[in-house]
Amino acid sequence: MKQPSLWRFSAEVRPEAEAAAMEWITAELDAGASSYTDAETGRVWVSVYLPRKSADAEPLDSRLRAELAAAFGAEVVRSAGWRRLRARNWAESWKRHFRPLRIGSQLLIRPSWSRRKARPGQKLIVLDPGLSFGTGHHATTSFCLAQVAAQRLRGARQSFLDIGTGSGILAIAAAKLGYSPIEAFDFDPESIRVARANARRNHVFAKIRLRQADLTELPPARQKYDLVCANLISTLLLDEQRRILDRLAPGGALILAGILADEFDSVRRHYERAGLKFFRGRSQKEWRSGAFKRQAAAGRS
């Protein structure tokens, strides 16, 4: 069967403008935009695919540049424009870009079309690319996955909280590795729908409490967690520090990711002033992530 051709509107933007660009393009074209970050270079593209090119009187790329320049006070669009894509099997083309990913010796993440088998002792996660953030390939997600694996203590009971769960990949990894109880939430209802589907596919749905929630509106915590992951933008990490730390148990570890490299020192100082100790970090192109430890309560070993 012949595959139809498509039109793609794509813009390369600075990382801090990714969310704003996606929101604006989605609203203007009434179609869901997606984003792609090159793990090697840190370059970000936001794209939308349509059966036909829009016929706006004023070019879409010019309006996008003006809108984001006004919002950010600087030029954040590096390039933008339309391109007609030749006919092909678009569903199959995903398979060239999403390959199996190993996280140390403990986790293997692969798409459903891959036949890669887990090594002895490795836990398998099957996850296909989708609109919700998190396949494990992005620098910030891979750091969080590595820490979920590294912080797991054999035979110990450890609880886990995932703030901004996206595809649910971190919570699924935690369930596979034996954390319990596990809670994960996201502001976006579509992310929760996708995360639930992914949890069912990986046979861990009953082990994870998944819910839609807004970090900025959370009440005081009833549960404290031994490991908390917050893969969020730096403004949220700074503004909502109290709510994040309210959920971290004494002696627990906090993983902060999604931070631009030039903003990381500010975030680190903010959390160290709250009494946490920085013990591990990773920098990759424009991104930097960090792991922090809270002092154990007096008398607790």
**pLDDT tens column, 19-33:** 889 889 888 888 777
CA–CA separation, 200 and 161 (whole Å): 18
Q: Are 237 and 230 in contact (CB under 8 A)?
A: yes
Q: Are 168 and 199 in contact (CB under 8 A)?
A: yes
Is it the case that residue 178 has pLDDT exceeding 60? Answer: yes
**pLDDT value at residue 286:** 80
Is it the case that residue 265 has pLDDT exceeding 80? Answer: yes
Q: Which pair of tokens denotes residue 96?
A: 């060239």
Is it the case that residue 131 has pLDDT exceeding 50? Answer: no
pTM, full prediction: 0.70
Is it the case that residue 223 has pLDDT exceeding 70? Answer: yes
Is it the case that residue 58 has pLDDT exceeding 80? Answer: no
β-strands 225-231, 160-163: how paired? Answer: parallel
Q: How many CB atoms lie within 10 A of CB 277?
A: 11
Q: Are 12 and 79 in contact (CB under 8 A)?
A: yes
**pLDDT value at residue 189:** 87
**pLDDT value at residue 1:** 46
- Higher confidence at residue 248 or residue 19? 248
Measure CA of the first residue to CA of the last residue in the chain; give whole Å. 65
CA–CA separation, 149 and 99 (whole Å): 20
- Chain centroid to CA 259: 11
